[in-house]
Amino acid sequence: MDSLGALNVFVQAAEARSFTGAGRQLGVSPSAVGKAIARLEERLDVRLFHRSTRAITLTPEGRLFLERCRRIFCEMEAAELELSETRAHPSGVLRVSLPLVGMLMMPTLSAFMRAWPDIELDLDFTDRLVDVIEEGFDAVVRTGEASDSRLMTRALGTFRYKLVGAPAYFEAHGVPETPADLANHRCLHHRYPSTGKLEEWFPVDGRRAPGDAPPGAAVSSAIGPLVYMAERGLGIACLPDFAVRDQLADGTLTSALDDAIQHTGVFRILWPSSRHLSPKLRVFVDFMARNLFPERSP
């Protein structure tokens, strides 16, 4: 029997003043209670009960031990109540690593802060490969497939890419009707900071399609500047739809070649599999999955 189980048997026997009564409360036989008490006394090297044919009574050592055991169980009950309250009102610091493009998630992150004001977000924006466990993050948000077996993962949502430009740009340069037409346009490219490679606009089965690298007018390792330049009519950019959702809605940007841009991406949140999903992380994961990519209108 485990230590806490043995202590519980002792407390039940002391309060019932009977092995039979304790066995009835615990659903075991009186002999099982007696054997558990005997093993506990042997381990502690002290007698806890005076035994007679009629009843059992606590020894002086037993009375001291009972008081300590009651305090232990009271502390456990308080801890369980505290955890229950924590689940209802999550709080504390939540360290999350996000990619640089995650800065465009700030409306969703701000909404989370308003919804859960007792949780302090400690956000690290980087495109480098972080070690979640060694660097002490509660979770990381990344695109692509999860390959670390030490981590648990949940998909937050799928996004599509959009080829976008300002209405004034398309009015001046024309709207491309095929990918080949992009050879005559000013194109704004994204470079992956981790690899230095340009992000492909028309990948085929994960590979670049022949001749699909449009000429560049500018290159940026962050998406924010590409959105800014596209809004001001400086060229066309291929960007995640969530990064330009507001601009497409208000007409600041319009899209082209929607049928040609087929590739998608998935954002995932990952956390150490050796840890329980804490209340603060659970509400963060649920909130991001629910709000990062709201349902698109049909």
Cβ-Cβ contacts under 8 Å for 284 (sequence gap 6 or more): 94, 96, 112, 116, 119, 139
Confidence at residue 206, expressed as pLDDT on a 0 to 100 scale:
44
Closest CA to 238 of 186, 206, 210, 200: 200
Q: What is the mean pLDDT of each run of 10 residues along the chain (298 residues)?
A: 83 89 90 92 92 86 90 78 66 89 84 93 86 84 74 85 94 91 91 81 56 75 90 93 89 92 85 74 89 62
Partnered with residue 237 across adjacent β-strands are 164, 188
For the chain, the C-alpha Rg in angstroms (whole number) is: 31
pLDDT given for residue 90 in this prediction: 84
**pLDDT for 217:** 86
Closest CA to 3 of 60, 62, 75, 72: 72
Residues whose CB falls within 8 Å of the CB of residue 274, separated by 6 or more in sequence, listed in order: 133, 150
Tally the residues of the chain: 298
* Helix/strand/coil for 92: strand
Opening angle at CA 160, ends 252 and 175, nearest 5: 45
So what's the pLDDT on residue 149? 67
- pLDDT at residue 88, rounded to an integer: 67
Among residues 287, 279, 269, 274, which one has the least CA distance to residue 92?
A: 279
Crossing angle of helices 19-26/30-44, nearest 10°?
110
Question: What pLDDT sits at residue 205?
Answer: 47
